[in-house]
Structure 1
Amino acid sequence: MSLTQPDLEKLLVELIDKHQVPGAQLAVLDGDTITEVAAGVLSIRTGCPVRTDALFLPGSIGKLYTATLVLMLADEGKVDLDRPVKTYLPDFEVRDVHARDTVTVRDLLRHSSGFDGDVFIDTGRGDDALPRYLDEIRDLPQIAEPGRIWSYSNSGYSILGRLVEVVGGTVFETALRERLLDPLGLQSSVVFAEEVIGHPNSVGHVPNPEDPDSLMVSPQWGLYRSCGPMGASLVASAGDVIRFAKLHLDGGVAADGTRLLSAELVAAAQVPQIDLVDDTVLGESWGLGWILDHVGDVRVIGHDGNSLGQNAFMRIAPEERFGFCLQTNVESALTMYRELADWLFEQRLGATLRKDPEPLDSQVVADPSRYVGTYSREGVALEVAAADDGSLVASFMITREELGDMPPMNDLPLVRVERDDSFLLDLPIADAALLAVFFNPVDESAAPTYLHFGGRAHKRV
């Protein structure tokens, strides 16, 4: 079934109305055709309508661009993915000496460094932002042996950005523009806020603290320059995100026939590098930058992104050359994304997303001591306790200033589901419940040593 522009426009309008999203962009790839539609407003303050060429913050989808720059350096023989990061960055330091000396470039690309990963700090707007960032994270604590488990790491990608600078001999943003945006002809993609001014652009929307059921414009538009390689540098339309992704569908060849990346490395990036503990939110495994998953029996690659009141999603079935990028201007649009993805993939491929496991009838936990305790990472701790009715509850304690003001998150139900050591946890800052998985990477039958939630591993202390 072909998906027409009127069909997609109607669908997007219905979805933003249903899910109370101010505005959104959708770009759908079908074969070699990209259909772009838009709905709603760029800002509830101005009421300016969303256009298909408007710029949004794709957030961590930008990590794919960073990964591509690293792969280009590997293609040129300047970087070996299996050599320690310290080979290329002699000043690289983290708290654990063994990790410092053994974490590889591949580990950073696939989020298996084992050190904490959510440090968002302002190190200035100068060209020294990334070297100064590396100075600030010298005391990052280790939560797992390098290469052992997957745990999403924003910090790891800023380290990769610095590697791009040192090995490539230019600042990250220049490399991004000159090596990817310009050769791919991405006219609705920029890298600095001052470049955004010349384009229609979206602002983020967050709950109004005085009226949590309503939205307000986010008081901060973008993240710091030090966070650029994490995805903060990229500001783009949904259509341009798909045009970038086509580089990886076309074997590393740009639309004008220029080869930017070898077919061998394009293929290698889509090979599973490490499995995820939870396959319901992101995917089954991680490649060299890519989320790797299946929708039904169809192989899918992609990435998600969050950035200060904006939420984006991209999924593509490479063999079928079908996929989409959705960009929204709310901080959590997971439910909308799932409904959209189900409709698109079912209409075109006869498949739908994997669902969360179903809640069990009884919420009584037979052995609460298996789970009760504190699970932490730098600045965040989850306290799991037994409730009077025999169920489990979780409380969040957040001490990291850069994570911003959060509503109270105490005694939230952990809902037992039809999967061992797994529970659904619904946060007041999210629009959908996420799976919380207790696991032990050394011995699955032993007491859990980690709690995996929101893409991050929290170590039992």
Structure 2
Amino acid sequence: MAIMEPSSDERSPSRRGVLRGAAGLLIGAAAVSGVAATAGCSAFRSKARSDEDELFGELDGKIEKVMKDHAIPGVAVGVWAKGREHVRGYGVTSLANPQPVDGDTLFRIGSTTKTYTGTAVMRLVEAGKLNLDATVRTYLPDFAAAGPGVAEAVTLRQLLNHTPGWLGDFYQDFGRGEDALTRYVTGMAALPQLTALGSTFAYNNAAIDLAGRVIEKVTGSTYEKAVQDLLLDPLKCERTRFFADELVGYRTSASHTVADGKAKFDASGWYIPRSLGPTGGLMSTAKEQLAWARFHMGDGTGPGGVRVLSRDSLVAMRSNPGPGGTLAVELDGMGVAWHLRPSAEGVRIVQHGGTWRGQHSGFIMVPDRDFALTVLTNSESGSKLVSDLTVDDWALKKYAGISNLPATPQTLSASQLAPYEGRYEGQVIFGDGKPVDLRVQLTADQGRLKYRALSPEGDPMDPEPGVPETLAFYREDYVLPMDGAGKPFGSRANFLRGPDGRVQWFRENGRLSRKAA
């Protein structure tokens, strides 16, 4: 999904998070269900639900089981299906200070923030202040990039569909001042160019931060204030904010790591650099995330009929995808900040989701079937639940009547696997600004590729939770990551070939690793 990665120190994404992209204390729960007439964050007018409600009862049971099995202290979920909404909290906000989670509990939503950045851009497009196909230098004349000719040519649309081609995992912390994004964008000049501009989808946090800086420039405001003025206030999203001091008094879900099958409170997990605001800085609730989905599936009006966007602009955001690939699942490509995902039935799935240290969230909608689901978790292991509900197709089948493209694991011969064998190398820049190389060795093993992460010294590392042990092909160049028991994680990955037809890249969790040997 998608994704701000959790961290191996207080403020940086972990190696495991970059490579893969996932004590159930059920002592408190709250739920609402009913019909809401309007879109927007103040639209919820709900009535009590029965625990025996067949439409949502199976979902509740599934969530509670995964929480118990995978040490997830707290979860909030919101569903809109078959003309009804279901918002519920499960478990507790924190193991250190447990309070029951409900639909108003705050979580970090990570990279779902990107959809707010994209939507703010569309408001400015409608106002005539931005053009998706104009170059970034139209608005930021001093923008610099490492690739020859890239700074002069890259467009706003290419930022939002993740095709600028430079290294995207740039997490450097530039402080809490209002110049954080300006300094971040200046730092982007050193990012290596991996692929030709506009040619290849590769998940790109840096590109979205750059789009946030464009918003600052044309509005004359900070990015956070611009998003509040353009979106949060008109939609009356009172609990969706970038800064914790604006949400004092509201119940907040803490972050938790997991070790030996047990969750542990992580006080450091809540911090996120201001320089990453446009790509992952928002906090929100299940209620307000579900309202965000219903706004995007609606006609562009908010509470009280206030016009926020035209329906045409909303549809345009989930149309005209750029180059496709994989990001947990197969993608048609990215629209304007939305993952556009195919289904076996030909109905488009629109998706995002996000991760920060100890907080995993998922967000999925099918406008043609009037279905949306959001899930927020407060544990490092919450990725399992997010995958089950938004990557796997259980919820899609149950509520929207559609499913993933088929993928049946195959057994390949040694000669068929040989072109894919080798060492693959990627890179991430952590909060301190220092690049870290990430290496994976793939070798043929009983009809599949054995997957081994390598230490900085080049030695194979022991398998760790959330990282595949093998890759099973299901069609040419496309693989299913498998666990130690030979079961698919539910995610998908793929290889890319160069101009000479040889395997050049491995794309996992949307990131590219170059074949080195």
TM-score (norm 2): 0.79
* 1:176 and 2:227 aligned: yes
Cα distance in 2 between the residues matched to 1:160 and 1:251? 25
Cα distance in 2 between the residues matched to 1:13 and 1:118? 33
Q: 1:422 to 1:351 in 2, by over 3 A?
A: closer
Q: 1:3 to 1:291 in 2, by over 3 A?
A: farther
Cα distance in 2 between the residues matched to 1:365 and 1:238? 49
| RMSD (Å) for aligned C-alpha atoms | 2.8
Q: CA deviation at 1:169?
A: 1.1
Q: Which amino acid aligns with 1:324?
A: L
* 1:346 and 2:397 aligned: yes
Q: CA deviation at 1:353?
A: 3.8
Q: Which amino acid aligns with 1:360?
A: Q
* 1:337 and 2:392 aligned: no
Find the partner of 1:386 among 443, 447, 454: 443
Q: Could you give the per-residue CA deviations for residues 296-317 of structure 1, whole angstroms, max 9, x where no partner exists?
A: 4233212111111111111111
* 1:145 and 2:196 aligned: yes
Find the partner of 2:129 among 64, 78, 86: 78
Find the partner of 1:263 among 286, 307, 311: 311
Cα distance in 1 between the residues matched to 2:469 and 2:384? 20
Runs of 4+ in 1 over 6 A off after TM superposition: none
TM-score (norm 1): 0.87
* 1:417 and 2:473 aligned: yes
Contact 2:170 2:206 in 1 (8 A): yes
Cα distance in 1 between the residues matched to 2:289 and 2:125? 23
Mapping 1:120-131, distance limit 5 Å: 120-131=171-182
Find the partner of 1:93 among 144, 150, 171: 144
For 1:249, the equivalent position in structure 2 comes to: 297
Find the partner of 2:326 among 250, 261, 278: 278
Q: CA deviation at 1:365?
A: 4.8
Find the partner of 1:159 among 191, 210, 234: 210
| Residue segments in structure 1 that go unaligned for 5+ positions in a row | 400-406
Q: CA deviation at 1:362?
A: 5.5
Find the partner of 2:340 among 287, 292, 297: 292
Q: 1:262 to 1:225 in 2, by over 3 A?
A: same
Q: 1:54 to 1:370 in 2, by over 3 A?
A: closer
Cα distance in 2 between the residues matched to 1:14 and 1:409? 25
Q: CA deviation at 1:427?
A: 8.0
Cα distance in 2 between the residues matched to 1:62 and 1:153? 13
Cα distance in 1 between the residues matched to 2:290 and 2:355? 17
Q: CA deviation at 1:92?
A: 1.5
For 1:404, the equivalent position in structure 2 comes to: none
Find the partner of 1:439 among 468, 471, 496: 496
Cα distance in 2 between the residues matched to 1:386 and 1:320? 42
Secondary structure, counterpart of 1:319 in structure 2:
helix
Q: CA deviation at 1:141?
A: 0.5
For 1:322, the equivalent position in structure 2 comes to: 371
| Residue segments in structure 2 that go unaligned for 5+ positions in a row | 1-52, 429-435
For 1:107, the equivalent position in structure 2 comes to: 158
Contact 1:207 1:214 in 2 (8 A): yes
Of 12-21 and 64-73, the range deviating more from structure 2: 12-21
Q: Which amino acid aligns with 1:164?
A: I
Q: 1:282 to 1:313 in 2, by over 3 A?
A: farther
Q: Could you give the per-residue CA deviations for residues 3-42 of structure 1, whole angstroms, max 9, x where no partner exists?
A: 6566654443334224432110011113664321110111
For 1:305, the equivalent position in structure 2 comes to: 354
Mapping 1:22-61, distance limit 5 Å: 22-30=73-81, 33-61=84-112
Secondary structure, counterpart of 1:418 in structure 2:
strand
Q: Could you give the per-residue CA deviations for residues 223-275 of structure 1, whole angstroms, max 9, x where no partner exists?
A: 1110000021x110011012122222223221321111222221211113224
Cα distance in 2 between the residues matched to 1:398 and 1:224? 27
Q: Could you give the per-residue CA deviations for residues 170-192 of structure 1, whole angstroms, max 9, x where no partner exists?
A: 10111121211111011222220
Contact 2:201 2:324 in 1 (8 A): yes
Cα distance in 2 between the residues matched to 1:347 and 1:360? 28
Q: Which amino acid aligns with 1:299?
A: R
Q: 1:259 to 1:346 in 2, by over 3 A?
A: same
Which structure exhibits the higher relative contact order, with contacts defined as CA atoms closer than 8 Å and separated by 6 or more residues? 2
Q: CA deviation at 1:370?
A: 4.5
Q: CA deviation at 1:281?
A: 2.4
Q: Which amino acid aligns with 1:17?
A: K
Q: CA deviation at 1:205?
A: 1.4
**Percent of aligned pairs with the same residue?**
28
Q: 1:23 to 1:103 in 2, by over 3 A?
A: same
Q: 1:21 to 1:93 in 2, by over 3 A?
A: same
Secondary structure, counterpart of 2:278 in structure 1:
helix
